[in-house]
Structure 1
Amino acid sequence: MDLFSRSWTALLEAVAAVPDADFEQPSGCAGWLVRDLVCHLVIDAQDVLITLVTPAGTEPTVDAAGYWKLVEPPTGEDPLDALVPRLAAAYGEPELLKFHLDDVGSAAGRAAGLADPAARVGTRGEVLTVGDYLSAYVLECTLHHLDLIAHLPAAAEPPAETLAAARAALETIAGSPFPFSFSDRDALLVGTGRRSPTDEERTALGELAARLPLVLG
């Protein structure tokens, strides 16, 4: 729960600090500008709010790692992926997009802080505890924080502890640790295909290299 709060708060603060002109810069999500990514974060915040008020009366079907599924790389044909850039452009001024994320995002953060970690909620056809759901979202927050700052060298990095937690989550999903020579940031970027490994890194990855990237959905 604390790690979710740290990662989510850091992400919202990083977005708030992005100069308006940089909303037209590319993000770490292929094909999306920073403004498109921020619009996606509004949808993420809505998802958090919806999930936290969707109680489930059955036993959990997944834990934090099981929440994520390995999927095929996006083709650009998904209707929601196509909708996000159009929706982001409709905001016009970055200030309006920032305001909406701060409004909905802050509400999601407060709701998470008030939630019972042992309560069970339903989302994406699965049931899991609130604690596991928010733990799973640390990976989402941290990856998108890295996406946000991919081409913004002056922007704040994700907190070290959430980078470490996100790496541990990705290693659980992969069923294998990343080499110790990889920083947490590099493990996340290379592991999810946001950056191609160097020849040296590919050698260090060994058999794991053949299973990368891990595209999460």
Structure 2
Amino acid sequence: MTGVTGPRQVRTAFHDECAQLVEVLAGLADGDLDRPTDCPPWTVRELVAHVRAGAARLVDMLAAPAPSRAEVDATGYFGAAKFAPAVDADRIDGGRRAARAGDGAALAADFDAAWRTTLDAVDRAPAGRVVRTRHGDAMALAEFLRTRVVEVGVHGLDLAAALGRDPWLTPTAAAVIADLLTGGRPVPPELGWDRLDLIRKITGRVPLAPHERLIVDAAGLRRLSFAG
């Protein structure tokens, strides 16, 4: 089981986190877009292109025939096999190829159109719709949208770090991501983490201290495999 947040909460989280990113992008200067990120070799512009591609992916997936049943949930989607060297190299090259020219306002307008088109397609889909991912997995639409919240939210942390800004992770996205990482279970109180700490630590944005690693492993928190 993924956790306790339902499809309506996931939809709201995707909406909120994408809208927040649009606001940030609109204020970026050319120098900001050329900054390196902690997702090498991507610059801010290239990481934005990767996030944009991920946010838009559902449009084509929903236009394709629906598999008969789901085989993987959001946790399974982030399996280590998805980031084997050849797959990861293609992902990195794709981000660089997809990078768009223009200033922050242009990137903001492009991303805004992309995620809103995705959400329109999601809203038109029938209940229980199943989609096939680019990795070949058959997933419930709501579960794949959950992975999009993770991608936009966690890479938003990467963008904030590259830009030298405080994280702008929205409360709705933080709730969905934290739920995925914990499986709906409480975070061990001895860690003293809030949701942002949890997400940063479990996704590798901030290293785990040795004692934290022991507690995380004992609690069964999900250290998902996804690069960048």
- Residue 102 of structure 1 is matched in structure 2 by 112
Is residue 2:203 matched to residue 1:192?
Answer: yes
Distance 1:2 1:38, change over 3 A: same
For normalisation by structure 1, the TM-score amounts to: 0.78
* 1:111 is the counterpart of 2:117: no
Kept after mapping to 2: 8 A contact 1:191/1:214: yes
1:33-85 CA deviation, whole Å, 9 max, x = no partner? 11111111232133121122224141111223223213487769713413423
Given that 2:36 and 2:42 are in contact with CA atoms closer than 8 Å, whether structure 1 keeps it comes out as: yes
Alignment of 1:45-56 (within 5 A): 45-56=55-66
Give how far 1:145 is off: 1.3
How much has 1:179 moved relative to structure 2? 3.7
Deviation of residue 150 (structure 1)?
1.2
Structure 2 gaps, min length 5: 1-10
What letter corresponds to residue 169 of structure 1 in structure 2?
A: L
Select the residue among 115, 138, 145 that pairs with 1:127: 138
Q: Is residue 9 of structure 1 aligned with residue 19 of structure 2?
A: yes
Q: Distance in 1 between matches of 2:84 and 2:107?
A: 25
Note the residue ranges of structure 1 that are not aligned, 5 or more in a row: none
Structure 1 distance, partners of 2:207, 2:162, is 16
Instruction: Write the distance in 2 (CA, Å) between the matches of 1:155 and 1:50.
Output: 34
TM-score by length of 2: 0.75
The equivalent residue for 1:82 is 93
CA distance in 2, matches of 1:176, 1:150: 28
Specify the SS of the correspondent of 1:40.
helix
For the aligned residue pairs, the C-alpha RMSD in angstroms reads: 3.2
For residue 53 of structure 2, what is the aligned residue in structure 1?
43
Alignment equivalent of 1:146, drawn from 157, 164, 168: 157
Give the corresponding residue for 2:214: 206
Q: For the Cα contact (< 8 Å) 2:71–2:138, is it kept in 1?
A: yes
Count of residues paired in the alignment: 211
Kindly, what percent of the aligned residue pairs are identical? 25
Is 1:168 aligned with 2:168? no
Task: Report the equivalent of 1:34.
Answer: 44
Which residue in the other structure is 1:62 paired with? 72
> Structure 2 CA distance, aligned partners of 1:169 and 1:87?
28
Please give the secondary structure, in 2, of the residue aligned with 1:128.
strand
